[in-house]
Amino acid sequence: GQSLEQPSEVTAVEGAIVQINCTYQTSGFYGLSWYQQHDGGAPTFLSYNALDGLEETGRFSSFLSRSDSYGYLLLQELQMKDSASYFCAVSQAGTALIFGKGTTLSVSS
Amino acid sequence: EPEVTQTPSHQVTQMGQEVILRCVPISNHLYFYWYRQILGQKVEFLVSFYNNEISEKSEIFDDQFSVERPDGSNFTLKIRSTKLEDSAMYFCASSESRLAGTEQYFGPGTRLTVT
């Protein structure tokens, strides 16, 4: 079967750093994406890792270790607007994204 | 900025009825998708579509589902005989290419409620 595991909830304060982990077990793996979703709205793309290592995009960074079937999303200098659900998603041979169950991030002042 | 649009935003239907959900993908995109999200759960892939045919489909996408690109701009998902368990948010998405990791642009969704 296929599974992606991520924490269900994370809380943090403004200005802090938070890491959302994702472990995966899938048949076939091309890369790991991260999507953000506010209050059931449209998921929006944040990042994609195909190779091991860290990818940085502004306040957000994403990491992948293919040998450990593990990745994480790192959010720095948290802002209230970062409160949302964050989904890791695996790309396999086709175009389908296989999503994890999502992590709800709550940022407080 | 180009965006994916979906209509209607909310559809209420009775069990057994047919529904058609409509999407207008971003104009220069060639790959189209439907996903669904049952309330409080993860986003689930239904189907991908390219060059007027289905590229890939999940186990959820059974014979009661169909997709169509009736003209140059619209992309539709039809559910032939709705069931209570079809109640969910349905997202359409599009992308420029089929390369793994290509950003998929999601529409705002259609909330389908089956009573």
From A49's Cα to the closest Cα of chain B, the distance in A is: 8
pLDDT of B30 higher than 80: yes
Nearest to A32 by CA among A15, A11, A50: A50
> What mean pLDDT is predicted for residues B79-103?
93
Does residue B104 register a pLDDT over 80? yes
Contact assignment for B45 to A44 by CB distance below 8 Å: no
What is residue A41's DSSP assignment?
-
What integer pLDDT is reported at residue A75 of this predicted model? 98
Regions of chain A where pLDDT drops below 50: none
Report the relative pairing of strands B110-114 and B10-13 from DSSP bridges. parallel
Determine contact, residues B4/B27, Cβ cutoff 8 Å.
no
Over residues B25-36, the mean pLDDT reads 95
**CB distance B56–A96 less than 8 Å?**
yes
**What pLDDT does residue B99 have?**
82
Structure token pair of residue A7: 């924490």
Structure-token match 């086709």, residue found: A94
Six-digit token pair at B114? 């089956």
pLDDT 10s digits, B49-74 = 999 999 999 999 999 999 999 888 89
Q: Give dist(CA B82, CA A15) in Å, integer.
A: 46
**What pLDDT is recorded for position B1?**
81
What residues of chain A have any CB closer than 8 angstroms to a CB in chain B? 30-31, 33, 35, 37, 40-45, 48, 50, 87, 89, 91-102
Residue A1 has a pLDDT of 66
Question: Is residue B102 scored above 90 in pLDDT?
Answer: no
What is the residue-averaged pLDDT of chain B?
94
Q: Which residue has the tokens 């091309």?
A: A30
**CA Rg value for chain A:** 13
b/e burial code for range B12-22 (CB count within 10 A of at least 16 → b): ebeeeeebebb
> Is residue B28 left, alpha or beta, with left meaning phi > 0 and alpha meaning psi from -120 to 50?
alpha
Residues in B closer than 8 angstroms to A37, CB to CB, are 43
**Reported confidence tier of residue B40, pLDDT bands at 50, 70, 90:** confident
